[in-house]
Structure 1
Amino acid sequence: MEKNCLKSKVWISVLALLVAMPIFVVAVSWFFPERELWAHFSTILLPNLISATVVLLIGVGVGVTFLGTILAYLVVMVEFPGRQWLEWALFLPFAVPAYVLAFVYLGVFDYSGYVQVWMREVLGLSGFDIRAGSWAIILTFVLVFYPYVYMMARASFKRQKVNIIEAGRLLGTSPLRTFFKISLPLARPAAAAGLLVTLMEILADFGVVSLFNFDTFTTAIYSAWGDFRSIEVAAQLASLLVLVAFFLIYFEKKARGQAKYYSSDVVNKKPYRAFGIMGWLISIFIFSVFMLAFAMPMLQLIIWGWAYSSKELNVRYTDLIISTLVLTVSATLITVSIATILALPNHCKKNSSWLKSVINIATLGYALPGSIMAVGLLYGINQVSAVSIYFGGQSINQIIFGSIALLLFSYISRFMAIGYNSIKASAEQIKPMFTQSARLLGVSRLRLIWQIYLPMMTPGILAGGLLVAVDVMKELPATYLLRPFGWDTLAIQVYELSAEGLFERAAIPALIMVLFGSVLMIIFQYLDKKS
């Protein structure tokens, strides 16, 4: 038994630490400082980067928390016209990449867009600059990232016992007071978890901030690498983002530690009914969010795409779709396989703080931007090559740089947390009595996994795989930096065309991405209802 546990610990540790390698490599970059270039960044650029990033985090954080929580509460606790289809429709913006929503709104509301042309020609107004300030980029992020808070808060509200709320009503408590005193405190840990993921996504974003010409840490990382040709400074800037990410994770865990979930079986009974004028006002509010975040951008993409479909749809798009699918399917299969191995019930893990720690480290990748993953991997390979050359060996740069393996590794490291958390949730529902009965019958570990664990973990594996696939397909920074020469994807095509202001031409690859993502999210919703 001890020998088997030792082997299990070794294999799990090696697997987890390999996945977490980019995190360690970024930290090592501080041993090789470039003082002059770093002095330039720290004195001239860093203050503005910090203030812009803080404004973005606070603005989007408040927006997604408010919108996601309110929407989740209304669809779970209130019966109103159209509730059933709006409840699942609010998930669809998750399938829209942030940079797609950004270029649609830029194309519509920029100086040459429909809105400002109409304002000048019909109303005689001078218009506005959508790129001025931070309000437009904050609104874009709120519309595209609220599903994170909505998804988790909705699950929490569904687990809350209706009896508690009905007791408050019997005591004469108003619906608003019940929400703030009972429902919201119970859902706070879930909303905080959704907020954390949102803030991680904002730190990771490159497409939206570059389209809006809004400088953040991510754009500075690209500047240090692309403009100043310094991978060391890029890695050091990335490490500062790592510190911010770790701080956010620590703060969220501390907040969770003060709150507890009180769960019960999901019930369909709604404690409140809103019909008449109030019901329709709620429907209009939720429908308006759906229109702004998904329906209207989709309609605009269809209009643009239809006008250019005859010119744009060619053999090149077949190659883009194939490249995107190959990367998405490959990364999803590998990520889910590793996540399943790490999440499998194992009595050795229960008594091993070391295994728990290395697995936690392996799942921190989602807190890091794709740009950090790329910088960490390239910096690590560069240092390994330098050591190899120093001892008379050959450089491995030409072999590794620009390979699909490096890009897949970045996907696996970054999105491991999504697959692992989903699969782990299913694994935790397996009752210990199954394992104990199998041991008494002398069933081997392999047969136990194949006949008991995997069938019972299948819903979590499928759900985790779908979420990983959506994120891999949308990933821009890591793909942009690490893709092999000539290996463009739909995400790259959307970004390059929209960055040049060719919004109509960018509509076709964006539509294909949103269509794939929407299908995956509909399947995810189906699995969520079945579980």
Structure 2
Amino acid sequence: MRIPFSYPMALLAALITLTPVFILITLASDATSVFDSHNLKILGNTLSLMGLTVVGSILVGVPLAFISAYVQLPFKRLWLVIFAAPLAIPSYIGAFTLYAAFGPGGEINNLLGFSTPAMYGLPGAAIVMTLYTFPFVMMTTRSSLLSLDASMVNAARTLGMSMRQCVFKVILPRVINGIAAGSLLVALYTLSDFGTPAMMRLDTFTRVIYVEYNAFALGRAAMLSLQLMVIVGFLLLIESQIKTATERHGRPLNLFANKWQLTAIFSVFAPVLFLAIGLPLAIFFVWLYRDGFSAFDFTIAWNSAYASAIAAIVAVIVAIPVANAALSGKTGKVFERVTYFGFGIPGIVMGTALVYGGLQLPFLYQTLGLLIIAYMLRFLPLAVGSIRTSTEHLDPSLVKSARVLGASPREAFTRITLPLTMRGIIAGAALVFLESMRELEATLLLGPTGFETLSTYLWRVYEAGYFGRAAIPGLLLVLISACGLAIMMSGEKRNQIDH
């Protein structure tokens, strides 16, 4: 049996993805204790933040999913974009601006003259994480809602059920898997986030790992990283078991709200959207007006773009054989699934592992190359998924015809498959580029000395207390993230058209 030509590269990519785990296990063997009372506090804070964020995201995301899927709002498509817009703001930017806005001496106090409660600790972190993760629940729930046939709801209404009873007894039980899928995404995001707990001064695994790293306690940082990865791995296992129920598509449910109901909807959710989108942007523009452009060195933006562009190119080069291997057989699918493991490793954990790897390989330590490797390992699945989806839609008869006419597998790939999947390759590269621009944790740990990016500059400004200088990098990161959201939303629209 002939081995597909993509298998060796896919196997190599899978082995490289697992390297950080092996490094962490080696490092953790030097730790003095596996678990102590301080670990219990860290675990409690981490799980509390995760639980509160999941509950908050469900309370906000599920009603918005119903509204965006079923209620006939004016400018409905625009409202969907607004509801999903918090995804265009990295959570650490939201944490930064909300921390600066609230409390005595905060921007709200300075500009409007009245004091507000300070936002920090577990309550502040939970509020921030909820504001920037509820769209995950909204999008997965909305997708499930749109797949339902309205005939069952109409039948229930005919039999005397109120609309509220239909929601809880007919609709919700059929979309519970969609809610669970979104909730698990929220949980994974919360576990891996470093910037929000750090800025809110909450000791979670990610923040303490960074503290231990700065104290040169790599063994302790590795042990905490492995403990965090156990929780992440457990959630990934649960996620792999959740299958969204599919039904035959029928006529969608349409609800028409009167003016009073529309006012009520707006009154409930406007404060959420204002806190998530309006207030951070307003704070940035206030800082921009106050401090101007002169304090920012635009070389920092070039550094971000340069490193991210290289990471995108490298990720695509590695992703092409992985995606093709996944479509060539079961073994290739295993290789692909292994590469997805890197996306599940929090950036702070990836950075800790690769710091030690760099120390063993001096030619890589504190170089741009090591940072590129981290970006590639973290965001390779984005490129793989995009390329694989494009390749799946390719007519296999085209490649077979080329082979019949005498083309080798390599020629068929370069002359048929590659050009026809270029759209997916470009989309995958764009997603890797945009996510690399946003990445904070791995960049903090692995960036070369003196090499500032937009995200690390924002972090240094926060640490130094020069909040006004965060305006330009913050707005640039929001703009970059908005481009990423636009790509994802256009991808969702194409998938709806294809189906």
TM-score (norm 2): 0.89
Tell me whether 1:260 sits opposite 2:245 in the alignment.
yes
SS of the equivalent of 1:273 reads coil
The corresponding residue for 2:31 is 34
Report how far residue 85 of structure 1 moved: 0.9
Deviations, residues 112-133 of structure 1 (Å, cap 9, x unaligned):
11445689x66xx8x53432x4
Q: Distance in 2 between matches of 1:156 and 1:456?
A: 31
Report how far residue 185 of structure 1 moved: 3.8
Tell me if the contact between 1:186 and 1:261 (Cα under 8 Å) persists in the aligned partners. no
Extract unaligned runs of 5+ from structure 1: 386-395
The corresponding residue for 2:17 is 19
Residue 45 to residue 287, structure 1, CA distance change in 2 (3 Å): same
Report how far residue 71 of structure 1 moved: 1.4
Tell me whether 1:512 sits opposite 2:476 in the alignment.
yes
Which of 128, 132, 137 aligns to 2:125? It is 137
Tell me if the contact between 1:95 and 1:514 (Cα under 8 Å) persists in the aligned partners. yes
Deviations, residues 120-150 of structure 1 (Å, cap 9, x unaligned):
x66xx8x53432x411110101111222223
The percent identity for this pair of structures is: 26
Tell me whether 1:3 sits opposite 2:28 in the alignment.
no
Q: How does 1:29-178 map to 2 (within 5 A)?
A: 29-30=27-28, 32-35=29-32, 38=33, 42-116=35-109, 128-131=117-120, 133-178=121-166
SS of the equivalent of 2:98 reads helix
Report how far residue 347 of structure 1 moved: 6.0
Q: Distance in 1 between matches of 2:326 and 2:375?
A: 26
Q: How does 1:259-338 map to 2 (within 5 A)?
A: 260-262=245-247, 264=249, 270-313=253-296, 316=297, 318-338=298-318
Tell me whether 1:194 sits opposite 2:182 in the alignment.
yes
Query: What amino acid sits opposite 1:468 in the alignment?
Result: V
Q: Distance in 1 between matches of 2:276 and 2:102?
A: 15
Query: What amino acid sits opposite 2:315 in the alignment?
Result: T
Tell me whether 1:378 sits opposite 2:355 in the alignment.
yes
Deviations, residues 288-315 of structure 1 (Å, cap 9, x unaligned):
43322112211221121121114424xx
The corresponding residue for 2:451 is 487
SS of the equivalent of 2:74 reads coil
Deviations, residues 233-253 of structure 1 (Å, cap 9, x unaligned):
211211111111111111222
Residue 494 to residue 527, structure 1, CA distance change in 2 (3 Å): same
Query: What amino acid sits opposite 2:324 in the alignment?
Result: L
Report how far residue 510 of structure 1 moved: 0.5
Tell me whether 1:231 sits opposite 2:200 in the alignment.
no
Report how far residue 219 of structure 1 moved: 1.7
SS of the equivalent of 1:420 reads helix
Deviations, residues 169-226 of structure 1 (Å, cap 9, x unaligned):
4444433333334443443334333332322222222221111111111122122221
Report how far residue 527 of structure 1 moved: 4.5
Tell me if the contact between 1:345 and 1:427 (Cα under 8 Å) persists in the aligned partners. no
Report how far residue 346 of structure 1 moved: 6.0
Q: Distance in 2 between matches of 1:82 and 1:416?
A: 36
Aligned residues: 495
Query: What amino acid sits opposite 2:247 in the alignment?
Result: Y
C-alpha RMSD of the superposition: 2.8
Deviations, residues 448-476 of structure 1 (Å, cap 9, x unaligned):
44565456645544444443333211111
Residue 486 to residue 117, structure 1, CA distance change in 2 (3 Å): closer
Tell me if the contact between 1:304 and 1:505 (Cα under 8 Å) persists in the aligned partners. yes
Tell me whether 1:213 sits opposite 2:201 in the alignment.
yes
SS of the equivalent of 2:292 reads helix
Query: What amino acid sits opposite 2:133 in the alignment?
Result: F
Q: Distance in 2 between matches of 1:144 and 1:194?
A: 13
Q: Distance in 2 between matches of 1:206 and 1:424?
A: 30
Tell me if the contact between 2:25 and 2:226 (Cα under 8 Å) persists in the aligned partners. yes
Query: What amino acid sits opposite 1:400 in the alignment?
Result: L
The corresponding residue for 1:392 is none
Extract unaligned runs of 5+ from structure 2: none
Q: How does 1:354-365 map to 2 (within 5 A)?
A: 355-365=332-342
